[in-house]
Amino acid sequence: MPTAMITGITGQDGSYLAEFLLERGYEVIGMVRRSSTVTFERIQHLQDNVTLIQGDLHDQSSLVDVIERFRPDEVYNLAAQSFVPTSWNQPVLTGEVTALGVTRLLEAVRLVNPDTRFYQASSSEMFGKAKEVPQSELTPFHPRSPYGVAKVYGHWIAVNYRESYNLYAVSGILFNHESPRRGLEFVTRKISNGVARIKLGLANELRLGNLEAQRDWGFAGDYVEAMWMMLQQDQPQDYVVGIGKTHSVRQLCDCAFSYVGLDYQDYVVQDPLFYRPAEVDLLIADPAKAQAELGWKPKISFEELVHMMVESDLKRVSKELI
């Protein structure tokens, strides 16, 4: 039975990846950080089937311990301070976790078990003020937030450990992927939750920032399969993963509100509070390499994703009303 270790197992992607790996017969070790309240909502249904162990990307010895104890065949580094606006408020913490945290984990792998295969969660935010459209593995980076800058560091340190120490280390440059398990502060979930609350009479407006920003949005459940595929290749390489279609936040609002028979223009209020100091205007993937070499194909379309998220929030908010 192969063993996989996931950092960030309590996050959106970690929960889908754990499900995916368990279905394939893996023993799954999840690294979780200590907190005064339990934050295992997304993996509650998996708790009997995964081993959870405390560790933190800030803490080198906790990383060495977990690799020594379980000697995983595959390590998926999904942990990060992942919310872009927070990275302006907490740039040093973002750098510590999202950038230097990658080096700490790579060092643990290199020192304890260099045969481990390593996945780094890189991001399309690295393209930022994009130099070309669409963006591929060859597009230069121009990050626009402390988060994006930290991810560029994480990306290059993974490449560097591959080139310096011959580690099987890969970076998946993933475009935005969403689900009913997405954090409530990200725009897709903020909208699906807002639509549900308005439809059920609990709110009468939804305050958002820049409606013209465009993203290539896919379903998180599809994207974790690509992560796994990247670790099953003969040679370690980096891949762009996305759908290859882009929609604006405005189109997302239209899709979500019209699904429940409402007009978004009656409810959405633009609020400067949610504008960013520097914006990423347009992201769109060129996933040709992942499709050709990994055989990866997304199964859920943008519209299906938005409807799935609205349905899920309608159910959840309705239950809260009982």
Residues 6+ apart with CB under 8 A from 50: 9, 18, 22, 28, 29, 30, 43
Q: Per the structure block, which two tokens stand in for 232?
A: 């099953």
Per the annotation, the verdict on 125 as an active-site residue is yes
Residues 6+ apart with CB under 8 A from 235: none
Of 15, 62, 87, 123, the active-site residue reads 123
- Smallest gap from residue 17 Cβ to ligand G4F (A): 15
Judged by beta carbon distances under 5 to 8 A according to partner kind, the member of ligand NAP, ligand G4F, none in contact with residue 209 is ligand G4F
- Smallest gap from residue 84 Cβ to ligand G4F (A): 4
Please say whether the beta carbons of 56 and 77 come within 8 A.
no
For every residue of 74-103, which 3-state class applies, written as one string? EEEECCCCCCHHHHHHCHHHHHHHHHHHHH
Residue 284 sits in the site that holds ligand G4F (CB under 6 A): no
**Residue among 160, 153, 43, 143 at smallest CA distance from 97:** 153
Q: Which of 124, 171, 192, 246 binds ligand G4F (CB under 6 A)?
A: 124
Whose Cβ is closer to ligand G4F: residue 67's or residue 170's?
A: 170
Q: Which string of x and - marks every residue 145-184 that binds ligand G4F (by CB under 6 A)? A: ------------------------------xx--------
Please say whether the beta carbons of 166 and 117 come within 8 A.
no
Region for 8 from its dihedrals, namely left if φ exceeds 0, alpha if ψ lies in -120 to 50, beta otherwise? left
Judged by beta carbon distances under 5 to 8 A according to partner kind, the member of ligand G4F, ligand NAP, none in contact with residue 249 is ligand G4F
Please say whether the beta carbons of 152 and 95 come within 8 A.
no
- Smallest gap from residue 182 Cβ to ligand NAP (A): 7
Of 147, 223, 239, 259, the active-site residue reads 147
The residues binding ligand G4F (CB under 6 A) are: 82, 84, 123-125, 175-176, 185-187, 190, 208-210, 213, 215, 249, 274, 276, 279-280, 283
Residues with a known catalytic role: 123, 125, 147
